Amino acid sequence: MNIHRTFALDSDLTFKMLERPPVGAVRIFGRAGEARELLLLAENQTSAETW
């Protein structure tokens, strides 16, 4: 199940990073550029390629 939520840039919401991604993690984006969307933070390159 995937749940997607979007928030307006002028929203009063604030976000906090709870932990840093591990060294070697690979980000997978749905598209490039300003409108990019993070689809997955893979544990490593092999996991990213498998996904």
Q: For 1-51, write each residue's pLDDT tens digit.
A: 777 788 888 889 888 889 999 999 999 998 888 888 889 999 999 999 999
Write down the pLDDT at residue 8: 84
Question: Cα separation of 39 and 30, whole Å?
Answer: 6
- Whole-structure pTM value: 0.61
Write down the pLDDT at residue 36: 84
Nearest to 39 by CA among 47, 27, 49, 50: 27
